[in-house]
């Protein structure tokens, strides 16, 4: 019976969350459901909590966890109190406690995984829901409010309260942010500084600069102080910037040109306005400019007046546009840059001081180049001839040596045949029948 009651309570909570997702603000009625991550198996319960549900993952088939109250007493699975409702699974425990004791709680057991806590209390965090589709580089306004029994909390209660915005990655292989784990995007309070509009009015306001890689994220907006924690979680997807920019090559004496390419599937071209600033890196001076896109034109080239001062220049761009879904966006673009080179200047006084022979440097340079080329060609012919003669001499020498070797081998062969009586001896000296004396030195003659 207890399990059936708890199952109905969980179904009601799910329905409550579904109803909240259909509203622009994350709130329902008097009570607010908040989903908070359990850190280091500990969590602090504040006085305003009417109901708390621990969703705790543990090792498969391990024993149910044990909850430790702030006073040190324990809550076991066999607790028969009407204020405790427990569902035990193979890998998790779902424990709901009515009117829990305020203070720090702890969970004991073989705990693992992504453990979370569901709170139902009359202290509400009200956050305007974020768009599901965002863009890399987009500036996003986030507001958060805390309510107690439909009344915004006063400045005394919020004096030490901070609103934190954190992004968590999903580590999907197909996403550019595959290696992203988590990053704190903003931390601010209600003191009327930076982007907060009114000090201690119970409304936290900030602007996020989403300089993140494209992919799927989970954004957590949390309000924390020494007494309580409330948070709001939502999944978003960061898309690539809906505009691309490129500085075209700077030609001599030409004006710098910036090429703009718009994503017509994402933006209404007639609503595109680009605010830019051209800054001299060396001198620190800057000029602002505005670029208006034309209807149904996907590419545009903006020309700047060529700066008179040499040096490096940077271009900062901010895109203001309306998406095809009707959402107004502001996107910071990567900076572009170009360089005005220093021109080569020849002093005219030096030209006038030159002698007539020096006043025609071009003709003299041509003559020198031609003479140098003729000398070089002659040198190549001489070197080529010497190489040819050297190769020819080596070839003749090897030919003579080879002929002498063959002649010597033939004489020796004939002498051996004569000694063995195989055939008639060959006359190699003066025509005598018998060779009695062989003068080897004569072969060289």
Whether residues 45 and 59 fall in one domain: yes
The reply to whether 376 falls in a domain is yes
Whether residues 359 and 308 fall in one domain: no
Domains identified in the chain, total number: 4
Whether residues 276 and 219 fall in one domain: no
The reply to whether 126 falls in a domain is no
- Note the helical H segments in 22-142: none
Q: Which of 274, 306, 340 is the last residue of a domain?
A: 340
The reply to whether 443 falls in a domain is yes
Rg (CA), the chain: 46
pLDDT per residue over 218-258, tens digit each?
999 888 766 567 788 899 999 999 999 999 999 888 999 99
Which of 123-132, 154-163, 240-249, 310-319 is predicted with the least confidence, judged by mean pLDDT?
154-163
Residue with token string 């924690």: 229
DSSP β-ladder status, 182-188 and 139-148: unpaired
Side-by-side strand order, sheet with 49-57? 32-37, 116-121, 49-57, 92-98, 84-88
Q: Name the band, by pLDDT with cuts 50, 70 and 90, for residue 363.
A: low
Which residues, 6 or more positions from 435, have their beta carbon under 8 angstroms from its beta carbon? 415, 418, 425, 428, 429
pLDDT in the model for residue 44: 76
Residue with token string 């050297």: 390
Q: Residues 170-198: what's their mean pLDDT?
A: 84
Higher pLDDT, 355 or 308: 308
> For the domain that residue 76 is a member of, what is the CATH number?
2.60.40
pLDDT in the model for residue 228: 64
The backbone torsions φ and ψ at residue 20, rounded to the nearest 5 degrees and listed phi first, read -65, -35
pLDDT in the model for residue 340: 92
The reply to whether 53 falls in a domain is yes
Higher pLDDT, 441 or 392: 392
Q: Which structural domain, as residue segments, surrounds residue 291?
A: 244-340
Side-by-side strand order, sheet with 286-292? 286-292, 273-280, 311-322, 328-340
The reply to whether 35 falls in a domain is yes
Q: Residues 136-152: what's their mean pLDDT?
A: 83
Minimal CA–CA distance to 16: which of 36, 43, 34, 41?
34
280 to each of 35, 125, 312, how far by Cα in Å?
A: 50, 46, 6
Whether residues 212 and 161 fall in one domain: yes
Between CA 207 and CA 215, with CA 211 as vertex, the angle to 5 degrees is 115
Higher pLDDT, 91 or 255: 255
What is the C-alpha to C-alpha distance for residues 241 and 7, in angstroms, rounded to an integer?
A: 45
- Note the helical H segments in 267-360: 348-352
DSSP β-ladder status, 133-135 and 229-239: parallel
Whether residues 205 and 282 fall in one domain: no
What is the C-alpha to C-alpha distance for residues 287 and 370, in angstroms, rounded to an integer?
A: 53
Whether residues 256 and 236 fall in one domain: no
- Note the helical H segments in 77-180: 155-158
Whether residues 34 and 111 fall in one domain: yes
Whether residues 335 and 392 fall in one domain: no
What is the C-alpha to C-alpha distance for residues 388 and 331, in angstroms, rounded to an integer?
A: 74
Residue 355 has pLDDT above 70, yes or no: no
The reply to whether 260 falls in a domain is yes
User: How many helices and strands (H and E) does the chain possess?
Assistant: 4, 25
Can you give the pTM of this predicted structure?
Answer: 0.57
Structure-token pair, residue 439:
């003068």
Minimal CA–CA distance to 64: which of 45, 84, 82?
84
The reply to whether 135 falls in a domain is no
Structure-token pair, residue 50:
């009417």
Whether residues 42 and 63 fall in one domain: yes
Buried b (16+ CB within 10 A) or exposed e, 32-45: bbbbbbbeeeebeb
Which residues, 6 or more positions from 244, have their beta carbon under 8 angstroms from its beta carbon? 260, 261
What is the C-alpha to C-alpha distance for residues 172 and 28, in angstroms, rounded to an integer?
A: 33
What is the C-alpha to C-alpha distance for residues 53 and 4, in angstroms, rounded to an integer?
A: 16
> For the domain that residue 249 is a member of, what is the CATH number?
2.60.40.10
The reply to whether 170 falls in a domain is yes
Highest mean pLDDT among 93-97, 246-250, 356-360 belongs to: 246-250
Residue 203 has pLDDT above 70, yes or no: yes
Whether residues 215 and 287 fall in one domain: no
Whether residues 7 and 38 fall in one domain: yes
Structure-token pair, residue 32:
């607010």
Residue 10 has pLDDT above 90, yes or no: no
Whether residues 301 and 407 fall in one domain: no
What is the C-alpha to C-alpha distance for residues 268 and 280, in angstroms, rounded to an integer?
A: 33
Residue 315, Cβ density class (10 Å: 0-12 exposed, 13-18 middle, ≥19 buried): buried
Half-sphere exposure of 445 (CA within 13 A, CB side): 5
Q: How many Cβ atoms are within 10 Å of 154's Cβ, its own excluded?
A: 13
What is the C-alpha to C-alpha distance for residues 203 and 193, in angstroms, rounded to an integer?
A: 12
Q: Are 107 and 54 in contact (CB under 8 A)?
A: yes
DSSP β-ladder status, 182-188 and 162-169: antiparallel
Q: How are the residues of the chain apportioned to helix, strand and coil, as percentages rounded to the nearest 5?
A: 20, 40, 40
If residue 384 lies in a helix (H) or strand (E), which one and from where to where? helix 361-420
Q: How many Cβ atoms are within 10 Å of 271's Cβ, its own excluded?
A: 15
Q: Which of 340, 366, 390 is the last residue of a domain?
A: 340
Q: Which of 72, 104, 121 is the last residue of a domain?
A: 121
């Amino acid at each position: 019976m207890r399990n059936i009651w708890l199952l109905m309570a969980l179904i009601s909570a799910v329905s409550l969350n579904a109803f909240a997702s259909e509203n622009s603000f994350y709130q329902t009625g008097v009570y607010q459901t908040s989903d908070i991550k359990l850190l280091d198996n500990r969590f602090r319960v504040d006085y305003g909590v009417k109901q708390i549900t621990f969703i705790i993952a543990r090792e498969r088939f391990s024993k149910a966890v044990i909850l430790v109250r702030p006073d040190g007493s324990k809550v076991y699975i066999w607790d028969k109190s009407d204020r405790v409702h427990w569902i035990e699974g193979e890998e998790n425990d779902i424990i709901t406690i009515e009117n829990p004791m305020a203070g720090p709680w702890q969970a004991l057991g073989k705990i693992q995984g992504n453990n979370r806590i569901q709170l139902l209390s009359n202290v509400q965090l009200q956050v305007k829901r974020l768009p599901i589709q965002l863009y890399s580089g987009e500036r996003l306004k986030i507001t958060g409010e805390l309510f107690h029994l439909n009344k915004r909390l006063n400045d005394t209660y919020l004096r030490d309260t901070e609103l934190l915005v954190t992004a968590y990655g999903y580590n999907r292989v197909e996403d550019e942010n595959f290696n992203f784990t988590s990053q704190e995007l903003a931390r601010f309070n209600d003191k009327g500084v930076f982007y907060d509009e009114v000090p201690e009015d119970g409304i936290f306001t900030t602007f996020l600069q989403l300089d993140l890689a494209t992919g799927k994220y989970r954004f957590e907006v949390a309000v924390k102080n020494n007494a309580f924690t409330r948070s709001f979680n939502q999944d978003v997807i960061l898309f690539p910037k809906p505009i691309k920019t490129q500085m075209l090559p700077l030609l001599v004496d030409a004006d710098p040109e910036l090429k703009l390419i718009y994503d017509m599937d994402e933006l209404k071209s007639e609503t595109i306005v680009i605010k830019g600033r051209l800054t001299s890196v060396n001198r620190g001076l800057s000029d602002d400019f505005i670029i208006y896109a034309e209807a149904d034109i996907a590419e545009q080239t903006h020309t700047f007046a060529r700066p008179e001062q040499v040096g490096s220049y940077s271009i900062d761009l901010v895109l203001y546009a309306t998406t095809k879904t009707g959402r107004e966006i502001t996107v910071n673009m990567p900076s572009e840059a170009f360089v005005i080179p220093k021109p080569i200047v020849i002093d005219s006084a030096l030209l006038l001081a030159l002698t007539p022979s020096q006043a025609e440097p071009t003709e003299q340079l041509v003559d020198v180049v031609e003479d140098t080329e003729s000398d070089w060609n002659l040198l190549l012919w001489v070197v080529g001839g010497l190489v040819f003669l050297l190769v020819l001499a080596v070839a003749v020498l090897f030919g003579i040596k080879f002929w002498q070797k063959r002649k010597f081998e033939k004489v020796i062969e004939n002498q051996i045949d004569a000694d063995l009586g195989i055939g008639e001896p060959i006359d190699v000296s003066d025509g005598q029948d018998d060779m009695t004396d062989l003068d080897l030195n004569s072969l060289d003659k």
